[in-house]
Amino acid sequence: MNFNEFKNKLIEIRRLQSAVALLNWDQQVYMPPEGVGERSRTIAALAGLIHQKFISKELESDLLILRKRQSRLTTKRKAVVREVWRDFSREKKLPQKFVEELARAASSGYSIWKEARKKSDFNLFVPQLKKIVNLKRKEAEYVGYKNSPYDALIDVYEPGVVSEEISAIFFELKSFLIPFIKKIKNSSVKIDPNCIMGNFDTKKQIDVFKSIIKKIGFDFEKGRLDETTHPFCTNFHPCDVRITTRFSKNDVMYCFSSVIHEMGHALYEQGILPENFGTPLGESVSLGIHESQSRLWEKIVGQSKHFWVYFYPLLKKNFQDPFVNVSLEEFYRIINLVKPSLIRTESDEVTYNLHIILRFEIEKELIEGSIDVADLPEIWNQKIEEYLGLKVKKDALGVLQDVHWSGGDFGYFPTYTLGNLYAAQFYAAAKNDIPGLEKKVSLGQFSPLLGWLRSKIHMHGKFYTAGDLVRNITGENLSTKYFVDYLAKKYKDIYKLKI
């Protein structure tokens, strides 16, 4: 067995995964409702086939041979073996019966959660969520961990990062955010978002936003933008990356923020080297690093003044009313309005992170067994009041708002805030490396920044771990410093704060 034979087996598995991704994309974009049943059976059949191929004796023996030969492999090949072995050993540790039980619990968890959310009754969800939490704790036992069982779950999404590290980082961030949000709340600056509401043609919205992301660097020869209820990005190959968005007739920024967010994910996928397709060098580092790419474009660049210096005339030209009567300064303040919300997905970039921190704190304790599922609404509501000063009146607007736990996705939430922190730290490094970066953005020159992200992050796939990547690019470990500085500087100006 030589390395290329091994690589070809990985590529074959990846092609099957691409087929599943395409079926999923189609299900959300085009499929008629009656097709759902058969579609999930088709996906389940393919998923079973992929799993069998991945944990096959054949692949195991290849991996064992390559691990023995490690010293003779190139560093890139070593990284491939390291990463495939990571995934392989995790999957191997989970008994087939357990995987099926978890999949069933997650699938019925979704419909039970949906019903409970509709009725805003957490009690309806309690027995199923208890079952899912127990299964996830069992998963952690199968997989193994050093300190906290929650670490074994985070590892799937953010390899190598443990809850102790996240706790320390989140504690620092929380200590900054809570008083900072109070200062913003007490500011005399009042912002009225209604000034940019109107009646906007959806076809026109899509045309304008397509032209913006094309200008930034999204390659429409290697990707598409379509409409769905929940925006997402998926890819079948670096040459075929799909993003989706949603519309509001009254608010163009509703659509734009999801287009530019998903574009950030897509630029990462389009920047993967095609020759690495199928191997870990053709995959993103982690969910946190992926999210750093979407948040960097959506928030740090896409909500900056220099970005709109270039694009605001385009909005004015295409939509005219109401933008002709709103100055760039005012528009900039409106799109950066800070307003605590009960709903995570409707939150601004400042308050958003407290939503994540509270979910992280709850998840950690749930998985470690120090709190009970039945007590979640009370704990949730207390934290929302403490962090955001809001009262939760209905579970649908509180503990029941997110789908993640119903599908067993514990350990996923922290990657959202890690993404914000990575993004700010990367962007600070990019500003150092690219003279006049923001001036360039205001002139519509995006290739220096995109080229920088490509060469520093995208093209390496999983060669580096997230920790190594951050240290290589920025010279230090992940820290809250850059994100805190970014928020403080930006919002001090917008809200005329004294800090």
Would you name the residues annotated as active-site residues? 262
Pairwise CA distance, residues 497 & 339, whole Å: 16
**Among positions 294, 303, 415, 465, the unique one binding Zn ion when judged by CB under 5 A:** 294
CB nearer Zn ion, residue 88 or residue 426 = 426
CA distances to 179, 321, 479 from 474, rounded to whole Å, are 28, 43, 10
Report whether 434 contacts 390 (CB < 8 A): no
Least Å from the CB of residue 325 to Zn ion: 33
Output the six-digit token pair for 376.
């979640």
Least Å from the CB of residue 403 to Zn ion: 14
Question: Which residue stretch of 63-71, 143-151, 290-298, 455-463 sits at the interface with Zn ion (rule: CB under 5 A)?
Answer: 290-298
Each residue of 401-422: b (16+ CB within 10 Å) or e? bbeebbbbbbbbbbbbbbbbbb
Tell me the backbone φ, ψ of residue 346, rounded to 5 degrees.
Answer: -100, 10
CB nearer Zn ion, residue 294 or residue 425 = 294
CA distances to 48, 100, 141, 281 from 51, rounded to whole Å, are 5, 12, 21, 20
Question: Which residue stretch of 114-122, 162-170, 189-197, 293-301 sits at the interface with Zn ion (rule: CB under 5 A)?
Answer: 293-301
Report whether 364 contacts 342 (CB < 8 A): no
DSSP string for residues in 149-214: HHHHHHHHHSTT--HHHHHHHHHHHHHHHHHHHHHHHT-S----GGGG-----HHHHHHHHHHHHH
CA distances to 5, 126, 181, 399 from 129, rounded to whole Å, are 43, 5, 32, 12
Least Å from the CB of residue 244 to Zn ion: 12
Least Å from the CB of residue 173 to Zn ion: 19
Question: Which residue stretch of 8-16, 32-40, 286-294, 455-463 sits at the interface with Zn ion (rule: CB under 5 A)?
Answer: 286-294
Least Å from the CB of residue 416 to Zn ion: 8
Size of the site for Zn ion (CB under 5 A): 1
Least Å from the CB of residue 381 to Zn ion: 27
CB nearer Zn ion, residue 294 or residue 336 = 294
Eight-class DSSP state of 350: T
What crossing angle do the helices spanning 376-388 and 163-185 adopt, rounded to 10°? 50
Question: Which residue stretch of 146-154, 247-255, 289-297, 407-415 sits at the interface with Zn ion (rule: CB under 5 A)?
Answer: 289-297
CB nearer Zn ion, residue 177 or residue 287 = 287
Question: Which residue stretch of 164-172, 288-296, 390-398, 421-429 sits at the interface with Zn ion (rule: CB under 5 A)?
Answer: 288-296
Least Å from the CB of residue 218 to Zn ion: 15
Report whether 244 contacts 227 (CB < 8 A): yes
Which residue in the shown chain puts its C-beta closest to Zn ion? 294
Alpha helices (H) in 31-95, listed in sequence order: 36-54, 57-68, 75-93
CB nearer Zn ion, residue 155 or residue 262 = 262
Output the six-digit token pair for 31.
């499929």
The alpha-carbon radius of gyration of the chain (Å, integer) is: 23
Contact status: 284 vs Zn ion (CB under 5 A): no
CB nearer Zn ion, residue 122 or residue 297 = 297
CB nearer Zn ion, residue 128 or residue 235 = 235
Which residues bind to Zn ion, rule: CB under 5 A? 294
